[in-house]
């Protein structure tokens, strides 16, 4: 299935394709503050529909995840990194997907604080 998503102001818009079977709620210092619910997909499943220049990036700790956010409104629609299989991946913040009801999906809690 293909989903559309965006930040609050619309300067960052994207589409992502895949089947959402579950979500991850991470308790690391940044995810707690952002209140993201994450869906992981191969990076090639994510297509930016607006200019890359509308995005900024924040890295911390081991600097292995690029936390992408809108320069204008500050909303975090996705992050990018390398998956356990060594392939590029994206972590989609499902709260930024249009018309997506995440309330019935299983949520795995990940102890990111322990990393």
For residue 64, the tally of other CB atoms under 10 A from its CB is 10
Q: Report percent pLDDT > 90 for the chain.
A: 89
pLDDT band for position 27 (50/70/90)? very high
State the average pLDDT for the chain.
95
Q: Do the Cβ atoms of 43 and 88 come closer than 8 Å? A: yes
Please say if the pLDDT value at position 102 is more than 90: yes
Assigned domain for 107 exists:
no
Residue 106 placed within a domain: no
Rounded CA-CA distance 10/70 in Å is 9
Residue 13 lies in a domain: yes
In whole angstroms, give the CA distance from residue 24 to residue 84. Answer: 15
* pLDDT given for residue 88 in this prediction: 97
For residue 112, the tally of other CB atoms under 10 A from its CB is: 17
Strand pairing class (107-110; 23-26): parallel
Within a domain: residue 104? no
pLDDT at 61 over 90: no
**Domain limits for position 61:** 2-99
Q: Is residue 108 part of a domain?
A: no
Is residue 111 situated within a structural domain?
no
pLDDT tens track for 70-80: 999 999 999 99
CA distance 111 to 50: 33
**Which residues contact residue 106 at a Cβ distance below 8 angstroms, ignoring those fewer than 6 apart?**
21, 22, 23
pLDDT level of residue 19 (50, 70, 90 thresholds): very high
In the block, tokens 């700790």 appear at 61
Domain count along the chain: 1
Residue 22 has which token pair? 């579950």
CATH at 60: 2.170.150.70
Region 54-76: what's the mean pLDDT? 95
For residues 86-106, average pLDDT = 96
Structural domain contains residue 115 = no
Question: Per-residue pLDDT averaged across 51-68, rounded?
Answer: 94
């Amino acid at each position: 299935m293909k989903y559309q998503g965006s930040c609050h102001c619309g300067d960052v818009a994207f589409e992502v394709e895949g089947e959402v079977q579950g979500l991850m709620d991470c308790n690391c210092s940044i995810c707690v503050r952002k209140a993201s619910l994450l869906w992981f997909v191969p990076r090639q499943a994510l297509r930016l529909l607006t200019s890359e220049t509308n995005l900024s990036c924040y890295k911390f700790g081991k600097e292995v995840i690029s936390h992408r956010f809108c320069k204008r409104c500050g909303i975090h629609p996705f992050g990018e990194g390398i998956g356990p299989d060594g392939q590029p991946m994206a972590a989609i913040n499902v709260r930024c997907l249009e018309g997506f009801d995440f309330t019935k999906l299983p949520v795995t809690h990940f102890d990111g604080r322990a990393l």
